[in-house]
C-alpha cells in the first residue's frame, strides 16, 4: 500500500530516550475506513509511536503521513484531517466540558455557532451534559476519556487516533465510546487506537497490529493475525508471556 492510499502511513519511525530504544523502526499502513487496533504490552512503545504519528513527539528518524500529508512537513493540513486523544488525556482541565470544547473549536478556527451546536450535541451524546459547571480537573477518569474523545471529534476529522480510549472506563461509558466510534467508522472515518484489552480489539477492529519491544511483530486484518486461535493466544505467544509453574509464591497457600 502506498502512502497516498493510507489514512495513516508510518515509515521507519524511531525514537530513543537516553539509553532506551522506545521505538525501533515502525512501518504501518492503516487503510482508509478501517478500525485499527494497536496492541502491545506495557512499555511496548504504543504511546511513543502514536505521539510521533500525530505530530506530538518529533521522531529521531522516519516519517508519518495522514491521508497523504506529511505530518512533520505539512502539519497544518495533516492536523486538520486528524482528531487525537493523547495518552493521559492532557487537557486544559481548569475549564468546564463546554468551555474546553469551545476553546478547542476556536483554536481550530471553527465558526463559534457551529462549535456551540456540536459541543452541546457531543456533551449530550456522551452523557456529560449533567456535569454542568464541574471543571474537567474534577471529572472521573471515564468522564475525562469522554471529553477527550469529544475534543478529538469536534472538528469532524477523517482520521481518529486514540491512545488507550478504554483504559479506566466503566462498562457503560465503554459501550457509549464503542457506539460512537462504530458510528464514526460506519460513516467513512478511520479509527486507530491502542489498547491492552483483547476483547475490545476483537469486537471492534477490522485490523490489528501487535507492537512489542518497539517493533511491529504482527499486523493485518483481525482474521489474518489471529488465524484459528484467539487474539489473546497470539498476543501472549508474540509477546513471550511468562507462565507460572505453580511452585512460586507457595507461601500464599494456607
Ligand atoms: N519521555 C520519556 N522519557 C524516557 N523514557 C520514556 C519516555 N517515554 C517513554 N519512555 C520509555 O519508552 C518505552 C516505551 O514507552 P511507551 O509509553 O511508548 O510504551 P506503551 O506501549 O505506551 O506502554 P503502556 O502500555 O505502559 O502505556 C518505555 O520503556 C518507556 O519507559
127-172 residue pLDDT tens = 998 888 899 999 998 899 999 999 999 999 999 999 999 988 888 8
Instruction: Quote the CA–CA distance of 89 and 141 in Å, as a whole number.
Output: 10
Question: What are the pLDDT digits (tens) for 4-54?
Answer: 789 999 999 999 999 899 999 999 999 999 999 999 999 999 999 999 999
The DSSP-derived string for 31-96 is ETT-EEEEE--TTSSHHHHHHHHTTSS--SEEEEEETTEETTTSHHHHHHSEEEE-TT-----SSB
Q: What's the gap in Å between 21 CA and the centre of ligand 1? A: 9
Chain segment 179-214, per-residue pLDDT in tens: 999 999 999 999 999 998 888 899 999 999 999 999
The pLDDT assigned to 5 comes to 80
Domains, the chain, in order of start with CATH, read 3-90+158-240 (3.40.50.300)
**What is the dihedral sign for C-alpha 17, 19, 23, 24?**
positive
Going by alpha carbons, the residue nearest to atom 27 of ligand 1 is 42
**Nearest-angstrom CA–CA distance, 3 and 144:** 33
Q: What distances in angstroms separate CA 173 from CA 105, 167, 168, one per listed residue? A: 24, 11, 10
Tell me the C-alpha distance between 182 and 187, whole Å: 9
Q: How close is the Cα of 47 to the center of ligand 1, in Å?
A: 7
Q: What is the pLDDT of residue 197?
A: 84
The question of ipTM being above 0.85 is answered as: yes
CA of 23 to the centre of ligand 1 (A): 9
Cell of 193: 487506537
Atom of ligand 1 nearest to the CA of 40: 21
Of residues 216 and 129, the one with the higher pLDDT is 216
The angle at the Cα of 129, spanning 142 to 85, to the nearest 5 degrees, equals 40
Q: Which grid cell is 18?
A: 537516553
Mean pLDDT computed over 224-249: 85
If you take atom 3 of ligand 1, which residue's CA is the nearest one?
A: 17
In the reported structure, the alpha carbon of residue 61 is separated from the centroid of ligand 1 by a whole-number distance in angstroms of 17
Closest Cα to atom 18, ligand 1: which residue?
Answer: 45
Residue 243: its pLDDT value, please? 66
Q: How close is the Cα of 219 to the center of ligand 1, in Å?
A: 21
Q: Ligand 1 centroid vs 15 CA: distance in angstroms? A: 10
Could you give the CA distance from residue 182 to residue 198 in angstroms, rounded to a whole number? 17
Pick the residue whose CA is nearest to atom 5 on ligand 1.
17
**Nearest CA owner, ligand 1 atom 4:** 17
Query: Any idea what the Cα angle at residue 55 is, between residues 81 and 116, rounded to 5°?
Result: 45
Q: What is the spatial order of strands in the sheet that 190-195 belongs to? A: 82-85, 159-163, 190-195, 35-39, 207-212, 215-221
Of 36, 146, 49, 41, the C-alpha closest to 91 is 146
Ligand 1 atom at minimal distance to the Cα of residue 18: 4
Ligand 1 center–CA 43 separation, angstroms: 5
Share of the chain above pLDDT 70, in %: 96
For residue 21, what is its C-alpha cell? 530504544
Residues at CB less than 6 angstroms from ligand 1? 17, 20, 22, 40, 42-48
Shortest-distance Cα residue to atom 2 of ligand 1 = 17
pTM: 0.92
Amino acid at each position: 500500500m502506498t502512502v497516498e492510499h493510507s489514512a495513516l502511513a508510518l515509515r521507519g519511525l524511531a525514537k530513543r530516550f537516553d539509553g532506551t530504544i522506545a521505538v525501533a523502526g515502525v512501518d504501518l499502513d492503516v487503510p482508509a475506513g478501517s478500525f485499527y487496533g494497536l496492541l502491545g504490552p506495557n512499555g511496548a512503545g504504543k504511546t511513543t509511536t502514536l505521539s510521533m504519528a500525530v505530530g506530538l513527539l518529533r521522531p529521531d528518524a522516519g516519517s508519518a503521513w495522514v491521508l497523504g500529508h506529511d505530518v512533520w512537513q505539512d502539519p497544518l493540513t495533516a492536523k486538520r484531517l486528524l482528531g487525537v486523544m493523547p495518552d493521559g488525556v492532557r487537557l486544559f482541565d481548569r475549564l468546564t466540558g463546554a468551555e474546553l470544547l469551545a476553546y478547542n473549536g476556536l483554536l481550530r478556527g471553527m465558526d463559534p455557532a457551529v462549535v456551540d451546536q456540536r459541543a452541546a450535541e457531543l456533551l449530550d451524546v456522551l452523557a456529560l451534559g449533567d456535569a454542568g459547571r464541574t471543571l474537567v480537573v474534577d471529572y472521573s477518569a471515564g468522564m475525562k476519556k469522554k471529553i477527550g474523545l469529544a475534543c478529538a471529534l469536534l472538528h469532524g476529522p477523517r482520521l481518529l487516533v486514540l491512545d488507550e480510549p478504554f483504559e479506566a472506563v466503566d462498562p457503560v461509558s465503554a459501550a457509549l465510546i464503542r457506539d460512537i466510534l462504530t458510528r464514526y467508522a460506519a460513516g467513512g472515518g478511520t479509527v486507530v487506537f491502542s489498547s491492552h484489552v483483547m476483547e475490545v480489539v476483537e469486537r471492534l477492529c477490522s485490523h490489528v497490529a501487535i507492537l512489542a519491544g518497539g517493533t511491529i511483530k504482527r499486523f493485518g486484518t483481525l482474521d489474518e493475525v489471529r488465524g484459528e486461535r484467539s487474539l489473546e493466544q497470539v498476543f501472549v505467544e508474540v509477546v513471550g508471556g511468562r507462565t507460572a509453574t505453580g511452585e512460586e509464591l507457595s507461601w500464599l497457600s494456607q
